[in-house]
Amino acid sequence: MKIYVTRKIPEPGLKLLRKEFEIEVNPENRALSKQEIINWLCEKDGLLCLLTDTIDKDVIYSEPKLKMIASYAVGYDNIDIQAATKRGIPVSNTPGVLTDTTAEMAWALLFSVARRIVEGDAFARADKFKGWDPMLMHGQDVLNKTLGIIGAGRIGTSFALKSKGFNMKVLYVDDRVNETLEHELKAKKVDIPEILKSSDFISLHVPLNKETHHLISEKELKMMKKTAILINTSRGPVVDEQALVKALKKRWIFGAGLDVYEYEPNISKELMKLDNVVLQPHSASATVETRTKMAIIAAENMIAGLTGEIPPNCVNKEVFQKKSIR
């Protein structure tokens, strides 16, 4: 069987795939267009794709042989899952292995913004440091503050648990009660208005879908404390980026730490000019350990899916129910 891999991923994953299949990897270090993916997918049985690939109906229906889609990411808002399910194609993601790594990045961003690390670094490098200054670069303490988690799934939970050393009050928004957070942190489940009004730091950990698109817009930013910090390591369109630019410029909030952007790979030019935002290039899961594990998991799912097993991280298990009914 033949697999197409839309971009080079860590070797241990490719090695696993090579043992079982004939594989073709995009030789260029860039994301492919939808049409390019369709072209390369010709005669392939499996597709290993990335979150930057648009895997819509056109792609899913383009190759009759296609039997498995393994994504090298936890979020799968870029894939038309319904279309894949309709065609009987299992889709897998890479949850679990990147949970703590992503939560660590959210904390790195929180500290960077609260303690103005990036600004301070630029200041020091520009040779502007003229000695200890009682009024220089005042930030925000993290200890004893109120932490707001929007989306208390795997990553949101891990992020919240890491607050233990900072004696924080934890609030969260989720459809379900999170027993772990309530038990371990005495966290309180609240609604969106309350979390916005009461939190010192808000971190977003929801998947992107119709309900979460522009979850944070002008109205929400205006409800936050003037000293608040917003962290987004989920998906860019969860935040209305223009509204955020306005809020940061007008100092409605203290600052923001972003790993994701509404129009990736583009970042609003205005954001780049602001000193109260820290910007990362969608790299929350980018550690040697985690990216290697993601490659192995994506490969293992591909192998399972193409050898008639249920992929361990299948996101559309209905595919198998439908098959067994037939």
Q: Catalytic residues, which ones?
A: 235, 264, 282
Residue 313: CB minimum distance to ligand GLV, A = 12
- Closer to ligand GLV by Cβ: residue 285 or 313: 285
Residue 106: CB minimum distance to ligand GLV, A = 12
What's the token pair of residue 93?
């993601």
Residue 146: CB minimum distance to ligand GLV, A = 26
What's the token pair of residue 151?
């989306």
Residue 77: CB minimum distance to ligand GLV, A = 9
Q: Angle at Cα 145 formed by Cα 144 and Cα 150, nearest 5°? A: 135
Is the distance from CB of 48 to CB of 39 less than 8 angstroms?
no
- Closer to ligand GLV by Cβ: residue 78 or 198: 78
- Closer to ligand GLV by Cβ: residue 75 or 88: 75
CA separation for the pair 170, 146 (Å, rounded): 6
CA separation for the pair 297, 306 (Å, rounded): 14
Q: In what order do the strands lie in the sheet with 169-173?
A: 188-189, 169-173, 146-150, 201-204, 229-232, 255-258, 277-279
Residue 79: CB minimum distance to ligand GLV, A = 11
- Binding site residues, ligand GLV, CB under 6 A: 51, 73-75, 98, 285
- Closer to ligand GLV by Cβ: residue 86 or 115: 115
- Closer to ligand GLV by Cβ: residue 32 or 98: 98
Q: Angle at Cα 72 formed by Cα 70 and Cα 75, nearest 5°? A: 95
CA separation for the pair 148, 309 (Å, rounded): 40
CA separation for the pair 126, 134 (Å, rounded): 20
Peptide bond before residue 281 is cis, with ω within 30 degrees of 0: no
- Closer to ligand GLV by Cβ: residue 88 or 207: 207
Residues 6+ apart with CB under 8 A from 98: 74, 155, 284, 285, 290, 293, 294
Residue 98: CB minimum distance to ligand GLV, A = 6
Which contacts qualify for 242-248: CB closer than 8 Å, 24 or more apart?
242/268, 243/216, 243/217, 243/218, 244/216, 244/271, 245/270, 245/271, 245/274, 246/218, 246/221, 247/218, 247/221, 247/222, 248/274, 248/276, 248/277
